[in-house]
Chain A
Amino acid sequence: MKKRWPGFLLILCLLLLWEFASANKLIDPITFPRVSVIFASWSKAVLGSGELTRQLMPSMGRIFAGFGLAAIIAVPLGLLMGTIPLVYRLLEPITEFIRPIPSSAYIPVAILFLGIGNEMKVFVIFLACMFPILLNTYGGVRAVDPVLIDTGRTFGLSRTKALWQIILPAALPNILTGMRISLGIALIVAVVAEMITGNSGIGYFILDMQRIFRVPEMFAGIFTLGLLGFLINFIFLRVEGHFLRWRGTSVET
């Protein structure tokens, strides 16, 4: 943690520069309000009226629902693809076809059959989270050293037991990497979906504030997103560090 202070110092300097530039009208103070004004509206929207906090909850709910669903389905599917060649040959083409489509492109389709409610957003987030987890799990399984598999065989381990006791833990670093990538994507997709079909959520809040020219609140929403992404990543690195403590490389947080 102590090695990170220069980075935080740079952020502080940039914010001060912004404050100074806006106060002296070097940049348009309507488009770029002073940082102090943004923070004032932020604390009012979060601590005071709570209108921002109210929008944060639905977003986080969607993100974790979509991500959780994706993890529950993609990890077992990836394990099967990695261990049973037939499953791989069955799923590989469709995976390669769907994967390159930007997840936001599914939104119009999802609206058609799921409407503009929560289900649609969770579904789109779920779909976007699926592929990084699936492909990383599959890749992790394929990368398990044959010696490790043979060690299980010489000890008479059954295929199912080997899956739980050898393949899953050996592929865990890759699986967790896939999950971390997915969490980042989930945040993006959630915001986009909320902006397109807005009635709640942080994405809706940002767009709404921009439309009614409450620019400081708009920035407050964006800053909140940055903070949220940072926090999610921070917590996930901690979780990862706990599960992978056997690797010995301390995770810097």
Chain B
Amino acid sequence: MTATHEVQAEARPIIEVRNAAKRFAVNGQSLTVFDGISCAIPQGAFLSIVGPSGCGKSTLLKLISGLEPASGGEILFNGKAVTGPADGMIYVFQQYTKSIFPWRTVIQNIEFGLNSHKKNLSRMEREDLCRHYVKLVGLEGYENYFPYQLSGGMQQRVVIARALICEPSVLLMDEPFSAVDALTRAILQELILSIWRTIPVTILFVTHDVEEAVFLSSRIISLTKSPAKIHEDVAIDLSYPRDQITTRAEPRFHALRQQLFASIFLQEKGAAP
């Protein structure tokens, strides 16, 4: 369709989801979250997954991360089956307040990301690297603060820096900005976009906010209500770099937002009693 889309279509998939299924046992009954979801995520994409609440977006992301086992089908990461938390994929949790280590300072939290990576660095090199990421997320001057001394948006920056420092090839973000105020969210959205454009990382982004998805993504997959199926797979042909003021003013932005919102809204409404 568009230039960006064609580039991505040519790129080899970094993640492949083949017929993935997830079932939970609830009160002795089997509850199917989804059954038979398939998709391929090209390397370098910024792909958002949207859908009605409770459709299993986050569950799909957990399955891809290897934090939760699939009940059926398989997930491939770089061509290899995912059987547990895979090296090279980092999951960023929605509840950043629960994911940050409260007993570690900002810089110590970020250093945690180096734990299982780059073990051979000297202390000086580790510190330099940490400072680089502190700077990348704009937390200079707060290195020695404890999380309780930071705002929600700053805590989320720490969590993002901690994830980036181990240079993951895939970042799995589960509604990362849903718990911060609107202005902070707008700033964090621009931050994650600029990071994605400077670092070779594939981002999978789960959100219930269609506008956020359109603003950020190169591609959006929308899911149906549970048991979820892929409802739409839309390439977002807005040019990068994007920013909050001009991108959101583009007619194409509104058209895409409207199209996706309508399809999700009608589904949600149609399924309601």
Contact = CB atoms under 8 A, between A and B. Distances in A.
A148 B159 CA distance: 12
Contacts of A116: none
B90 A246 contact: no
A214 B219 CA distance: 89
Nearest to B67: A150
A252 interface: no
Main secondary structure of the interface of B (DSSP, over half): loop
A114 B246 CA distance: 83
A63 B204 CA distance: 57
Contacts of B103: 169-170, 172, 246
Interface stretch (B16-24, B73-81, B92-100, B255-263): B92-100
Contacts, number: 55
Contacts of B104: 246
B91 interface: yes
A248 B101 contact: no
Nearest to B89: A154
Given A148-B98, A246-B148, A247-B102, A157 B115 contact: yes
Q: Which of A148, A170, A247 has the most B CB atoms < 10 Å from its CB?
A: A148
Nearest to B87: A156
Interface in B48-97: 65, 67, 84-85, 87, 89-91, 93, 95
Given A161-B115, A169-B101, A246-B103, A153 B146 contact: no
Interface residues of B, number: 25
B116 interface: yes
A166 interface: yes
Nearest to B104: A246
B112 interface: yes
B67 A154 contact: yes
A142 to B, nearest CB: 16
Contacts of A150: 67, 91, 93
Interface of A: 145, 147-148, 150-151, 153-157, 161, 165-166, 169-170, 172, 245-248
Interface of B: 65, 67, 84-85, 87, 89-91, 93, 95, 98-99, 101-104, 112-113, 115-116, 146-149, 166
23 contacts: A148-B98, A148-B101, A150-B91, A150-B93, A151-B93, A151-B101, A153-B85, A154-B89, A154-B90, A155-B116, A155-B166, A156-B85, A156-B87, A157-B115, A170-B103, A172-B103, A246-B102, A246-B103, A246-B146, A246-B147, A247-B102, A248-B146, A248-B148
List of 4 A-B pairs having minimum Cβ-Cβ separation, nearest first: A147-B98, A156-B116, A248-B148, A154-B91
